[in-house]
Amino acid sequence: MAEANYRVALVGTPNCGKTTLFNALCGARQRTGNYAGVTVEKKSGRLLADPNIEVLDLPGLYSLNAQSTDEDITRRVLLGLEPSEKRPDLLILVIDATNLHRTLYLALQILELGTPALAVLTMQDLAQRRGFTIDTAALSQSLGIPVVRVVKATPEDIVLLNTAIKNSIATRKNRNKLQRSATPEERHHKVAAICRQAVRPLAKSPGPTPTLDRWLLHRLWGSIFFIILMGGMFLGIYSGARPVMDAIESAMKALAKLAGEALASYPMTASLVSDGIIAGTGSVLVFLPQIALLFFFIALLEETGYLPRAAFLMDKILSWSGLSGRAFIPLLSSFACAVPGILSARVMPSDRTRMATILIAPLMSCSARLPVYVLFIGAFIEPRFGALWAGVALFGMHLVGLVVAMPLALLFNRSLRGREAPFILELPEYHWPHWPNVRRRIQDAVSDFLRRVAGIILALSLAIWALAYFPHSAKTVENEKTAFAKERNIPITEVENESHKTEWENWLKSAYLRESFLGQLGRTIEPLFRPLGFDWKISVAILAAFPAREVFVSTLGIIYSVSDAEKDPQALAKKLLAEKKPDGSPYYSPLLAITIMVFFALCLQCMSTLATLRRELMSVRWSITIFVLYTTLAYGVAFLVAQIGSWL
Amino acid sequence: MPRPNKALRSLATLAPGEGGTIAETPPNLRLAELGLIRGQFVRVLGVAPLGDPVVLALLDTPLVVRRAELEGILIRG
Ligand SMILES: Nc1nc2c(ncn2[C@@H]2O[C@H](COP(=O)(O)OP(=O)(O)O)[C@@H](O)[C@H]2O)c(=O)[nH]1
């Protein structure tokens, strides 16, 4: 797009209605990015009414005395200190009628700088519900700049705002340098005087918010409501997305099969297309239902005003580790999947706490680890110790990550640099969601994931595919034919007969994987895993599970020549039970099963999570650091389990 | 009639429903900018299920603050 002639910036406190205005002003003509060098999201767009005017939605702030990275960005842009950002030509100060005093405090502080500005008064409808109204003329008089009232971004109001913006730019007036206040007290007194002039009481009704809060913030009823709501939300993401994910998976499988058959005469291309490209695309698409659903719920929580209340209720549980109540939703969502969980940390202001939350999110036991737990608990715990202990083991596996994560959060919070605003929240009026905002939120999350994360996931899938496919030499077939025939006691010529077809195919697949680069790598690193009791088969499965954790089960399946281990873990479990050590004793024990599960619970064997981490922290270095850290951690804890277990 | 000698109490220790005028506050720029300044009326609206943080009725919109942040703010009333 051509360079815009003018830049206007929306400025206001958090929750004042800035983004709603921005969406209405720019519609689809907006994009999101990042400010240089920091993880603060940058939203900019072009005015629908005049593409020559660029609009910037600056992060919300309470004061120019910035206390977090977000606030600092806004301060720097306003003062023209941000090198990559031109100083805005015009500011749109957003004044929230239901939070008049604090929004005016910020407005005054900014007007003291002398930048040309105009003001928008939002939320007048909610103010009236609370029993007062605001006289925009009086407000305009006191501030010395035009004030436009915009209620819920109604098109008529937006037209007026557009006109006001264009007028301000044309006349280049509206510069009203207020006298500086020496102290916050002095400024507060000025604000109070303005409020006295501009606020007109209507009726003595406080509106529904205090009543709702008496229940929703109640120590008992509020907690019960919160638990039910979060439980519902979690189940919604966990199982609500399942049918769509399954549909995507089976569609991709069908497509892969189709492609495989169509390209049957070019085996390598067939495998590249179906196991590489199509499967890789599938592993990107499969995240979309969860991301969309989670952001739908989050948008509802934000749009009704409940989100800060949830943070209030949960703060104490998390504060000891240096996190805050705001971390609750990202962490809870990570139990479904760390990818949407990490993305949802955007509800937190960008600071150290957000970073710590993102860093521990992958330790929450996600749903992709479940098939691994189910396989091993089903095969080695349940038959020996009964259903009760199987349940305990499953619960324990979900706890392991959490138990490790919280002290780590404390450590991150102590050692990470970065600014940190004190934990202070405002509790806005409850209101009905503004649906365009909900839609925009989901759309942003999904398109951002596709644009910035999907590519890496796809590339890594292809790399892993290549490692698992090549060298794929023709010699393998001949050697394996002999081995297969010997094992089955049949003549070599009968190996490819119809009666052995599936078995032979599975056998050959297993052999190819064993001899692939990935298989060789697995055997190379086997000595590394030996102290944990893992053989090369487990090592290969761990490596192959990098594109997606649940692939661990199907890879073991391939190694053990089981047709479809994901659908039929019993068949694989039988093979594992039959696996013998050289001395003839069973190779797998409950202890080994637990060791594998613990390793899996802690390691960061998930390239999608890593790709998302890289995007959200804007740092390849951190992604690699955290990968190494968690792998080491997983190894250490699994090693302890294996050692202590073998003494008992 | 306000009794001039009425004891000052710490805002951090008030129970829900209690409140008064801020008599003294340690220098805390952020809290001051959000409205916790001398002479301002403030009331505790509620307490989180685990005892911390608290919700304050202050200016137009309730504010959630951890007790530790309120240390040293003294209330008359
Ligand atoms: N009733 C009402 N709600 C509004 C109005 N403007 C914004 N909102 C809602 O207020 C909430 C906060 O607005 P948002 O634009 O996200 O604020 P931001 O945090 O400043 O970007 C959202 O739920 C909006 O739907 C308004 O004029 N009237």
Q: How far is CA A428 from the centre of its chain?
A: 25
B35 assigned to some structural domain = yes
**Residue B72's domain is classified under what CATH number?**
2.30.30.90
A99 touches chain B (CB under 8 A): yes
pLDDT in the model for residue A628: 94
Centroid of ligand 1 to alpha carbon of A369 (angstroms): 38
Atom 10, ligand 1: which residue's CA is nearest? A17
Taking each helix axis from N to C end, the angle separating A607-617 and A435-452, rounded to the nearest 10 degrees, works out to 110
Strands A424-426 and B63-65: antiparallel
Instruction: Give the CB-side neighbour count of residue A574, counting CA atoms within 13 A.
Output: 6
Helix (H, G, I), strand (E, B) or coil at A81: coil
Residues of A in contact with B73 (CB under 8 A): none
Question: Which of A62, A217, A422 has the CB atom closest to B55's CB atom?
Answer: A217
Q: What is the pLDDT of residues A209-255, one digit of tens each?
A: 888 999 999 989 999 999 999 888 878 877 788 888 889 888 988 99
Which residues, in sequence order, are CB contacts of A360 under 8 Å at separation 6+?
Answer: A331, A405, A406, A408, A409, A412
Residues of A in contact with B65 (CB under 8 A): 423-424
- A29-33, A569-573, A585-589, B8-12: which is most confident: B8-12
Ligand 1 atom with the shortest distance to the CA of A153: 27
Question: Which of B33, B65, B69 has the CB atom closest to A63's CB atom?
Answer: B33
Closest residue, chain B, to A66 (C-alpha): B30
Number of helices and strands (H, E) in chain B? 2, 6
* Rg of chain B, C-alpha, whole Å: 12
| The pair of three-digit structure tokens given for residue A185, joined into one six-digit string | 């007290």
Please judge whether A220 and B49 are an interchain contact, meaning their C-beta atoms are less than 8 angstroms apart: yes
Whether pLDDT at A407 is above 90:
yes
Distance CA A8, CA A555 (A): 55
Instruction: Give A115-169 as a DSSP string.
Output: --EEEEEE-HHHHHHTTEEE-HHHHHHHHTS-EEE-STT-HHHHHHHHHHHHHHH
Centroid of ligand 1 to alpha carbon of A140 (angstroms): 22
Residues of B in contact with A105 (CB under 8 A): 33, 35
B2 assigned to some structural domain = no
Residues of B in contact with A72 (CB under 8 A): none
Residues of A in contact with B46 (CB under 8 A): 213, 217-218
Best probe of the B interface among A65, A426, A431, by most B CBs < 10 A, is A426
B59 touches chain A (CB under 8 A): yes
Centroid of ligand 1 to alpha carbon of A381 (angstroms): 52
Ligand 1 atom with the shortest distance to the CA of A126: 1
Determine the structural domain holding residue B38 and report its residue range: 8-76
Please judge whether A101 and B55 are an interchain contact, meaning their C-beta atoms are less than 8 angstroms apart: no
Q: Are A418 and A351 a contacting pair, CB within 8 Å? A: yes
Question: Which of B29, B31, B33 has the CB atom closest to A105's CB atom?
Answer: B33
Ligand 1 atom with the shortest distance to the CA of A432: 1
Give all strands of the β-sheet with A117-122 in edge-to-edge order.
A30-34, A41-47, A50-57, A6-11, A90-96, A117-122, A147-149
Of A426, A347, A429, A439, nearest in space to A123 by CA: A429
Q: Are A348 and A564 a contacting pair, CB within 8 Å? A: no
B22 assigned to some structural domain = yes
Kindly list the distances between the CA atom of residue A399 and the CA atoms of A313, A320, A402, A632, in Å, as whole numbers in the listed order. 22, 18, 5, 19
What's the one-letter identity of residue A268? M
Kindly list the distances between the CA atom of residue A343 and the CA atoms of A78, A290, A298, in Å, as whole numbers in the listed order. 28, 11, 11
Q: Are A61 and A102 a contacting pair, CB within 8 Å? A: no
Whether pLDDT at A10 is above 80:
yes
Of A530, A527, A504, A544, nearest in space to A595 by CA: A530
List ligand 1's pocket residues with C-beta within 6 A.
A 12, 14-20, 60, 122-123, 125-126, 151-152, 303, 431, 434, 437
> Please, which pLDDT band fits residue A350 given cuts at 50, 70 and 90?
low
> Please, which pLDDT band fits residue B1 given cuts at 50, 70 and 90?
very low
Q: Name the DSSP letter for residue A586.
A: B
Q: How far is CA A516 from the centre of its chain?
A: 34
Q: Are A39 and A69 a contacting pair, CB within 8 Å? A: yes
Whether pLDDT at A299 is above 70:
yes
Q: Are A409 and B48 a contacting pair, CB within 8 Å? A: no
B64 touches chain A (CB under 8 A): yes
pLDDT in the model for residue A90: 92
Label residue A304 exposed, middle or buried (CB < 10 Å: 0-12, 13-18, 19+): middle
Q: Are A476 and A512 a contacting pair, CB within 8 Å? A: yes
B39 assigned to some structural domain = yes
Whether pLDDT at A269 is above 90:
no
What's the gap in Å between the CA of A218 and the closest CA on chain B?
7
Q: Which domains does chain A have, with CATH numbers?
A: 6-201 (3.40.50.300), 453-647 (no CATH)
Computed over every residue of chain B, the mean pLDDT equals 87
Residues of B in contact with A220 (CB under 8 A): 49
A223 touches chain B (CB under 8 A): yes
Kindly list the distances between the CA atom of residue A164 and the CA atoms of A145, A173, A175, B57, in Å, as whole numbers in the listed order. 11, 12, 14, 35
Centroid of ligand 1 to alpha carbon of A17 (angstroms): 4
Q: Are A172 and A99 a contacting pair, CB within 8 Å? A: no
Computed over every residue of chain A, the mean pLDDT equals 86
Q: Are A593 and A534 a contacting pair, CB within 8 Å? A: no
Of B64, B42, B69, nearest in space to B53 by CA: B64
| The pair of three-digit structure tokens given for residue A469, joined into one six-digit string | 């496919």
B60 assigned to some structural domain = yes
Residues of A in contact with B63 (CB under 8 A): 424-427
Question: Which of B30, B52, B64 has the CB atom closest to A425's CB atom?
Answer: B64
B3 assigned to some structural domain = no
> Please, which pLDDT band fits residue A161 given cuts at 50, 70 and 90?
very high
Best probe of the A interface among B61, B63, B65, by most A CBs < 10 A, is B61
From A13, A15, A156, the mutation candidate for ligand 1 (largest count of ligand atoms within 8 A of CB) is A15
> Please, which pLDDT band fits residue A173 given cuts at 50, 70 and 90?
low
What's the gap in Å between the CA of B27 and the closest CA on chain A?
11
| The pair of three-digit structure tokens given for residue A245, joined into one six-digit string | 């994910």
B1 assigned to some structural domain = no
B61 assigned to some structural domain = yes
Whether pLDDT at A586 is above 90:
no
Distance CA A553, CA A567 (A): 10
Distance CA B57, CA B51 (A): 17
Q: Name the DSSP letter for residue A17.
A: S
> Please, which pLDDT band fits residue A584 given cuts at 50, 70 and 90?
confident
- A24-28, A117-121, A491-495, A557-561: which is most confident: A117-121
Closest residue, chain B, to A63 (C-alpha): B33
Please judge whether A105 and B65 are an interchain contact, meaning their C-beta atoms are less than 8 angstroms apart: no
Mean pLDDT of B20-44: 90
Higher pLDDT, A199 or A205: A199
Helix (H, G, I), strand (E, B) or coil at B75: strand
What's the gap in Å between the CA of A420 and the closest CA on chain B?
12
pLDDT in the model for residue A322: 86
What's the one-letter identity of residue A266? Y
Strands (E), A334-408: none
Distance CA B58, CA B60 (A): 6
Closest residue, chain B, to A308 (C-alpha): B64
> Please, which pLDDT band fits residue A8 given cuts at 50, 70 and 90?
very high
What's the one-letter identity of residue A385? F
Centroid of ligand 1 to alpha carbon of A427 (angstroms): 13
From A13, A18, A20, A302, the mutation candidate for ligand 1 (largest count of ligand atoms within 8 A of CB) is A20
Domain count, chain B: 1
Centroid of ligand 1 to alpha carbon of A589 (angstroms): 57
Whether pLDDT at A84 is above 70:
yes
| The pair of three-digit structure tokens given for residue A443, joined into one six-digit string | 């759309």
Whether pLDDT at A51 is above 70:
yes
Q: Is A450 left (phi over 0), alpha (psi -120 to 50) or beta?
A: alpha
Distance CA A434, CA A15 (A): 13
pLDDT in the model for residue A156: 93
Which of A16-20, A428-432, A560-564, B59-63 is the least confident region?
A560-564
> Please, which pLDDT band fits residue A495 given cuts at 50, 70 and 90?
low
Question: Which of B45, B51, B61 has the CB atom closest to A426's CB atom?
Answer: B61
Among residues 175-194 of chain A, which lie with CB inside 8 Å of chain B?
184-185, 188
Percent of chain A with pLDDT over 90: 33
> Please, which pLDDT band fits residue A463 given cuts at 50, 70 and 90?
confident
